[in-house]
Amino acid sequence: MFRGRLALVTGGGSGIGRAVCCLLAQRGARVLVADLNLEAANATLALLQEPSGGAEHRALHMDVGCPQSVKNAFENFEGARGEQASIVVNCAGILLPPKPFMDLGVDEFDLMLRVNLRGTFLVTQAAVLSMLRQKVTGGSIVNISSAAARATRPGLAAYSATKAAIACFVRSAAADAASSGIRINAVAPCMTDTPMVKAFNEAQRSKFVAGIPMGRAAMPDEVAAVVAFLCGPDSAFVTGTTVDVNGGA
């Protein structure tokens, strides 16, 4: 499905990002695994099915909240190598341990804004500009929102705000890019079995799962499958949309 296409995945070192990297590689894409933790990115790299034609997957460092880091990453494959990334998936994100917003420090709030929202903006903007420069056809960008964007979740005011903002950003950004043939969408998973859920204690995890009609957390590969759909030709007329992956929650 993705043979001959280059996919950049941020947050590819673990969780949903790692699952997305593995699935896109399995379906023929050449993958750039981007992560703040280069060691984790290289660990994902070791799991990927080798692409055909002698091409290689690569790992690269990226701090999504830093404009220069994002710029450097795109210049690395676009300028120096002359490569075109027609698929970009923003999985980089953080979740701090839940606490009432009255107890939330400004630095904690700003950190979640920096990674979850600013990072999504910077990478999406850089991706669209890169696709326009290189006249990419069929470009697709997928961001990660969350079921928490709409659900009532005590202790998650900052996280929920960033994820709701991503869904709003996607709608408007997609309208801006649509005339160029570039699609921008998002997925909104419920609690997913990734290292991020370690921010919750066992009682909190059980409470969240109890609110999911299917009775369990999502698995990373289940979220990755929906991401892959949004990256591929079967969703060619889908843009500005956030797809729930939430077990009916």
**pTM beyond cutoff 0.85:** yes
- CATH number (3.40.1190.20, 3.40.50.720, 3.20.20.70, 3.10.129.10) of 6-245 reads 3.40.50.720
CA distance 217 to 146: 13
Distances (CA, A) of 96 to 47, 196, 200: 28, 9, 9
Residue 47 pLDDT exceeds 70? yes
Please give the pLDDT value at position 73. Answer: 93
Per residue in 51-95, pLDDT (tens digit) is 765 568 999 999 999 999 999 999 888 765 667 899 999 999 999
Active site amino acids = 159
Please give the pLDDT value at position 81. Answer: 64
The count of C-alpha atoms lying within 13 angstroms of the C-alpha of 41, restricted to the half-sphere facing its C-beta, is 22
